[in-house]
Amino acid sequence: MLPVSSPDTTPATAPGDTRRVPVLEAAGIEKTYRRGIWPARHHQLVLRGVELTLYPGEVVGLVGENGSGKSTLMKILVGALAPDAGTVIHNGRLGYCPQEPVVYERLTCDEHFELFGRAYRLTPEDQARSRRELYAELGFERYAGTRADQLSGGTLAKLNLGLALLADPEVLLLDEPYAGFDWDTYLKFWQLVATRRDAGRTVLIISHFVADEERFDCLVQLRDGRAVPR
Ligand SMILES: Nc1ncnc2c1ncn2[C@@H]1O[C@H](COP(=O)(O)OP(=O)(O)OP(=O)(O)O)[C@@H](O)[C@H]1O
């Protein structure tokens, strides 16, 4: 998955204006999947008018039953999937960690960071510094020279997350990022999220763990195709 970035689309806040400016606004998002061919064509309405606004410095949990449309919504937010209706406006760079790691089997971790660093237009120095920090934060430096097809599931998940974080995006969208993490890495993950939040970054996380709920500033639930606060 190539990184998603865009120029700022929201006007800057005027000096002295203390109103919170959203970093991402989704309005009226609708999505129906269409499968099969006539006469066995099947339509599945998944999203029926989702409204979602994210502000700087908040960590938001996106929850809902299996199949409620969380991954679909996240793909639409990052521009990986086109909605049938609705708009997404974001102010700053997005980092996306998909549920299934999308990596190049024959490239090492270092080579992935170099490739993504170029796609993000980072200088080689910034890319190397950010990579070093991510190896340390997530604890996988010893796999720097290992090819992706030889990594364990958990280390692959670290690489997947690291690539989303490489350019220090204003908005980080994570689709069940810690499913394969051991306990120590799980705690490191939440430390990393806290550091980003303190720096004013926004993090949207799809989560299934009730135990995580207290870690979020707010929870948004997808129910019957709409986003409702919880
Ligand atoms: N590419 C696709 N084509 C057809 N149907 C799809 C496609 N992707 C998802 N769906 C269907 O849309 C519904 C929502 O899927 P989605 O993966 O967005 O849900 P989710 O809330 O993320 O689920 P989970 O909690 O199980 O990960 C499901 O019924 C799924 O089968």
> What ipTM score was computed for the predicted complex, to two decimals?
0.97
Q: How far does the centroid of ligand 1 lie from the alpha carbon of residue 63, in Å? A: 14
Q: Which atom of ligand 1 is nearest to 34's Cα?
A: 4
State the closest ligand 1 atom to the C-alpha of 208, by its place in the atom list counted from 1. 25
Structural element, H or E, at residue 198 = helix 183-198
| 227 shares a domain with 126 | no
Q: Quick check: is 44 in a domain?
A: yes
Task: Let me know: does 93 contact 68? Beta carbons within 8 Å.
Answer: no
- Going by alpha carbons, the residue nearest to atom 23 of ligand 1 is 67
Q: The sheet that has 85-90: what strands, in order across it?
A: 42-54, 24-35, 85-90
Distance CA 125, CA 117 (A): 10
Whether 12 maps to a domain, the answer reads no
- Look up the pTM and report it: 0.88
Query: Same domain, yes or no, for 28 and 66?
Result: yes
Rounded Cα–Cα distance for residues 50 and 87 (Å)? 10
**Residue 26's CATH number:** 3.40.50.300
Domain-embedded: residue 11: no
Task: Spell out the per-residue pLDDT of the chain, length 230, in tens.
Answer: 434 433 333 444 444 444 589 999 999 999 999 888 777 788 899 999 999 999 999 999 999 999 999 999 999 999 999 999 999 999 889 999 998 888 999 999 999 999 999 999 999 999 999 999 999 999 999 999 999 999 999 999 999 999 999 999 999 999 998 878 899 999 999 999 999 999 999 999 998 877 788 889 999 999 999 999 88
Of 70, 100, 174, 220, the residue with max ligand 1 atoms within 8 A of its CB, to mutate for a pocket test, comes to: 70
**Domain housing 107:** 99-168
Asked if residue 174 and residue 82 are part of one domain, the reply reads yes
Residue nearest to atom 10 of ligand 1 (CA): 33
CA distance 51 to 49: 6
Same structural domain for residues 174 and 86? yes
In a domain? residue 154: yes
- Distance in Å, CA 5 to ligand 1 centroid: 25
The burial class, CB within 10 Å (0-12 / 13-18 / 19+), for 48 is: middle
Residue 15 lies in a domain: no
Q: Does one domain contain both 108 and 216?
A: no
Tell me, yes or no, whether 161 and 194 share the same domain: no
